[in-house]
Amino acid sequence: MLSSVELSGRELGMMKLMTDFFAEKPELTAKIESYTTAHYALITTYSENFGVPQPDSWKVFEALEKKISEAEYVQVEAPAPLKKWRPLSKDEINMLRVLIDYFSESPKMSPAGSLSSKRSEAIVEAYVWFFGSSSGNGEAARENFQNMIEKVQTSVSAKLETLALVTASPNPYEAALKLLDTAAERLNIDSGVHEMLKRPMRTVIINIPVFMDDGSTQVFTGYRVQYNDALGPTKGGIRYHPDLTLDEVVALSAWMTWKTAVTGLPLGGAKGGIRCNPKEMSRGELERLTRGYARAFARFIGPYSDIPAPDVYTDAQTMAWIMDEYSEMVGYNAFGVVTGKPVQVGGSLGRNEATSRGVMYTVAEASKHLGMDLNGSVVVVQGFGNVGYHAARLLNECGCKIVAVSDSKGAIYDPKGLDPQKVLDHKTVTGSVVGFKGCKDLTNEELLELECDILVPSALENQITKDNAGKVKAKMVAEGANGPTTPEADDILFRNGVFVIPDILANSGGVIVSYFEQVQNQMNYYWTEEEVRTKLEHTIVTAFKEVLTVAQKYNVNMRVAAYINAVKRVAEAMQMRKGKTVVPASSVLKPVVG
């Protein structure tokens, strides 16, 4: 598990000073030679140059030494106008470790501690000696050394990923594991199957070299995690994000496993992504990166094995590139290798609004169950992006009154009701819903606590927490977003009688229509939008009723019930497929429904 940390300004300053010593500036050379060890030369020079007391300089060095020793990945940011993050290669990171060791109190990668030879040569020797000739002969090591020095010298900031355990709370993977445990206990599933369900089936990490527009080559790390394929080919999005971690990809792949299972799709769960900042990349760079990802993962993905889709900062165009690259490799048009494609090249009609349409169908079912009349119900939507806008529009078409919506800049409220299309037009012109005529501006926190019948969180994770769950006045929460409610908040909402339609059910319309897209690709026969809608309604309403049955039978909330259904399906499939090779013959799953 990886976690991200940044170097402080002081730590970066010290790292630069270390590399300055190797620029062989006469005044620094004189300085280092006037001290008995490189360590004292560094601490005193740093203290004098930056006006930091010596004891504090020691601490800066220690913190830097620890961070670099634990770092798995290091990236440095070039200054404006370039403003680009550049990764250090593994060899360059090791070179940095040797450099820091050279300045430590008791160097371990000797002979770098010696001040007798030319310092840069001493470092190169130490590197070859410590990391072995397989990591580079003298020539390659010298080049790594120069590259590392150049990257550090020109950086304005640095960030690293360490192998330290992620302590962020609540960790989405831990939350998903807790729900798995609860469901496994209820189902009394075999402990071996339970253990297998706690871990991803396959994790692949690759490094993709990309030729950049400025003539340089950058290497990006890509992931694909196939969590479980007992029910069918794995399925899940590809996310491009500078802070993406393997931990997050694993959590999202587990989520996909339960989402496809609860809706009864013949699919497993997966997720993937690339650590990159797409906002700083040109279209050409993004295309080369995406094609590199497709080439590297071609042997792991495919219409019958694992089918990616768009996620954060990837879109229909990204999917078209993957499909094209993969098709070139296999030698025929493999439209079914990805979903979420443009309609012109195998995309399905109705995919754009599918997630929100699914939200609307589940809200309609929940209303029937609660005896609420959807016509005239008061709705609040957090997040006005793809999911939030279409959810507001479709619920409005059902007769609901949308009184408040929000985006990252703030919220707007009109008790008389908003026209979602007009709000979208305003957002298209101004960049935000805020400032829409005739509305009161609110904060996102205030929006969640508004008096309403239905609250649709459609933005980010961890929005309803133990701190505000008690203030939610909605009768129903339909989770358009993934993970908007923390486990503690879930308990509070349940105790307060708020009916929650959990994310893996409420927002599963997207993956359901993605599945339809894949089916159409495999048949090479395409459905009308009406057919897609009818099939979506049937699939999601069936799943809703199955979950509600379990929730009532066991007096658990809808989330626990959804996990019970999902885990049961996956566990049974594993048992049927593998039989005694996985679990003892005496172990029998207890039926839950019916």
Query: Considering 84, 271, 401, 427, which one is annotated as catalytic?
Result: 271
Q: Which stretch binds ligand NAD (CB under 6 A): 164-172, 269-277, 404-412, 550-558?
A: 404-412
Residue among 71 and 501 whose Cβ is closer to ligand NAD = 501
In the complex, which residue's CB is closest to ligand NAD?
385
**The one segment of 154-162, 169-177, 295-303, 458-466 that binds ligand NAD by CB under 6 A:** 458-466
Which is nearest to 176 in space by CA: 383, 458, 461?
461
Q: Does the footprint of ligand NAD cover residue 406 (CB under 6 A)?
A: yes
Least spacing, CB of residue 316 vs ligand NAD, in Å: 12
Interface with ligand NAD in residues 336-355 (CB under 6 A): 355
And the tokens for 535?
């099939």
Q: Which of 377, 382, 520, 539 binds ligand NAD (CB under 6 A)?
A: 382
Q: Counting contacts by CB under 6 A, is residue 430 touching ligand NAD?
A: no
- Smallest separation (angstroms) from ligand NAD to the CB of 563: 17
Enter the tokens of residue 355.
């997630």
Specify the pairing of strand 499-501 against strand 476-478: parallel
Cα(203)–Cα(192) distance, rounded to whole angstroms? 20
Q: How far apart are CA 248 and CA 273, in angstroms?
A: 10
CA gap 219, 150 in Å, rounded: 17
Min dist CB 5 to ligand NAD, Å, is 24
Tell me if 260 contacts ligand NAD by CB under 6 A: no
DSSP string for residues in 318-366 = HHHHHHHHHHHHHTS--GGG-SS--GGGTPPTT-TTHHHHHHHHHHHHH
11, 229, 407, 490: residue in contact with ligand NAD (rule CB under 6 A): 407
Element at 441 (helix H, strand E):
strand 440-442
Q: How far is CA 254 from CA 66, 203, 462, in A?
A: 32, 12, 18
Coil, strand, or helix at residue 432? coil
Euclidean distance between CA atoms 415 and 417, whole angstroms = 5
Asked about 553 being catalytic, the answer comes back as no
Q: How many CA atoms lie within 13 A of 63 on its CB side?
A: 16
> How far apart, in whole angstroms, are the C-alpha atoms of residue 48 and residue 467?
47
Rank residues 321 and 384 by Cβ distance to ligand NAD and give the closer one.
384
Residues 466-485 that bind ligand NAD (CB under 6 A): 480-482
Question: Closest distance between ligand NAD and the C-beta of residue 251, in Å?
Answer: 12
**Interface positions, 203-232, toward ligand NAD (CB under 6 A):** none
Which is nearer to ligand NAD, 339 or 575 (by Cβ)? 339
Token pair belonging to 425: 């037009």
Which residue in this structure is represented by tokens 């658990």? 556
Q: Which residues are bridge partners to 162 per DSSP? A: 3, 71
516 binds ligand NAD (CB under 6 A): no
Taking CB under 6 A as the criterion, which residues in 383-402 touch ligand NAD?
A: 383-388
- x/- string (CB under 6 A) for ligand NAD, residues 485-514? ----------------------x--x----
Total number of residues binding ligand NAD (CB under 6 A)? 20
Residue from the set 228, 234, 253, 458 that interacts with ligand NAD by CB under 6 A: 458
d(CA 255, CA 507): 12
Binding site for ligand NAD (CB under 6 A): 355, 382-388, 406-408, 444, 458-460, 480-482, 507, 510
Catalytic residues: 271
